[in-house]
Structure 1
Amino acid sequence: MKKSNKIMALLSVVLLVLLTACSSGSSDKSGNGGSGGGSVTTIKFAHTGSTTHQDQIYAEKFKELIEKSTDHKIKVDIFPNGQLGSEADVIKGVQNNTIDMTEVTADSSMAQVVPSMNVLGVPYLFRDLQHVYKVLDGEIGQKLLEDVNKKSLVALGYSEVGFSNITNSKHKVVEPSDMKGLKMRIQPAPIWEAFMKKLGAVSTSMNFTELYSGLQQGVVDGEENPIATIAAMKFYEVNKYISLTKHSYKANVVVISPKTWEKISEENQEKMKEAAKEAFEYQRDYLAKKEEETIKELKGKGVIITEPNRAAFEEATKDVYKEVSKDVPESLVKEIKSVK
């Protein structure tokens, strides 16, 4: 009986070893997340926008593309509405490998980590969307992403937020002088403090996730964001006036954790990059078609939308770029402006 028990125990050990060997996925790039492997890599994708925000539009398209192209060997779980924290929080999470992926505003939260990204916040840097895309899709945009890669992040590309406009709860804004004394929420970046100062407004830095309540409670009178954001976050409910200043283009930078990136096969890394690019192209086409419709909808809700004196706004803020000259040389500003 004792001998039989020993044999059974030995067989159990052998079986356990065999099962463990069979069920363990490969830790190198040839197995984990590869098209031929059986394992699935699940990516937590966090952002601070609502479920109708531009961030979500991008995230959903990226999820669709990457899951399809990898035969669902890569799965994406999206966490909107700042569920995993503010933009600053999620950047740290991605750097520390506690969050897999995010998209954050280039000229504010990302600029706090990658100073060269401040250049994308320079007022009236871009003539139009075609100018924007030539820069972001070209050599300059790639160089900026390379700076991101030096900060314990892996940059996959950009996503769109759009051209920003000024909103407030007090009155119409047509001339720069109409900004005087308005309490304006800004993103946490020196260039936006300088921008509001040049216009005579009083600036207050505030997390995006706290902005609606800040406007509702009168902590701030106004803010600046693209039309799509104003609609998606319902800022128009507490800010009746929108001025189409289109003073800056806001891009997001899409990043993934280095540790997560290393788990993905080289084949699927390429698919991730391609999905990021395709999602950006889809998102910007979608938003371009939607903007005029959104403006009409906002007017129908009683929002007062004005065309300001953009030339006067540009003149009033023409020296703002000097506030970030330490991180953004004038030569880079000129190089971007010269792109045709």
Structure 2
Amino acid sequence: MLPAAPPLPEPAITPSLPPPGGEPFWVWAATIGGLIVIFAVDLWAGRRAREVTMAAAARGVAIYVGLAVFFAAGLVVFGGQHAATSFIAGYVTEYSLSVDNLFVFLLIMTTFAVPKAYQHRVLLVGILIALVMRGGFIVAGAAVLSRFSWVFYLFGAFLVITAYRVCRGEDDDAEYRENLLVRSVRRVLPVTDSYREGRLTVVEHGKRWVTPMLMVMIAIGLTDLLFALDSIPAIFGLTKDAYIVFTANAFALLGLRQLYFLLDGLLARLVYLKWGLGLILLFIGIKLVLEALHTNTLPFVNGGRPVPVPLIGIEVSLGVIVGVLAVTTVASLLRTRLRERAAV
């Protein structure tokens, strides 16, 4: 009688998320240097107070989206298709989630009564502040996730709860209210009662004052950081590579300023946008939970051993994100058109 053949080993489940990229220092330095140059050119181009037209805003959006596509092409050549796909998925997710930020930015501009001629400069500096703070958040998040995989459970649960709140419309605000940090800055720094031709600080009666221009920049930067509490866990659900997470955030924020000036009539037409964003957050939240189960180390879950659950690849994630945004956009435009016809 022949001996029984040894059992075949179970096929290992390959994680869909690569380990942190570990890009060399010169790559980070070159990337940050390039972003600084882009910000400097943009700031120099907008040095004169002027109102941004719809045509100029559309050209700006096209330019920044083109820069993101060019960067993704570079990733294909130097980092491989997986890195480029992860960047595109993260960029599309961040850009789509940032649409809600625009409404709050509009409320901030209205509350502070920012003249239209200065709004482009306010947004640029405010977004620069937000990017610097997001960078610190991303580095800290990557360090924590590389050591404690169970944090994915928390991120996943947080995104699922956020998805429910977004669909319910619980994050919609009728008016802007200054957060604690902005109120603290106002208590420490004396603020003038009106703008001083676009200047950030002035000396009056022998005393240094800050103008509302600086306050609104701080408000936009800090408000965007609060939004990052939702979006950055979402992009970490797509990739653990801190470099990809940072660059996706950077390019999304770069194009956000131009998109702001296309806001008029945009949100009113995208009636199903919140449902699409909620579905994307729910999908990424589930993806994070699956990843946490796959690398489980919690002793009260499966005895501290990994759970052999299927993982969702980055290509599938990109397809779901783009598909949801396309369906919700088309459905929103059709619904708006039907309403307009019915009104006529």
Same fold (TM over 0.5): no
Q: TM-score, normalising length from structure 1? A: 0.28
Q: TM-score, normalising length from structure 2? A: 0.28
Rg (Cα) greater in structure: 1
Q: Return the structure number with greater helix share.
A: 2
Q: Return the structure number with greater strand share.
A: 1
**Larger RCO: Structure 1 or Structure 2 (Cα < 8 Å, ≥ 6 residues apart)?**
2
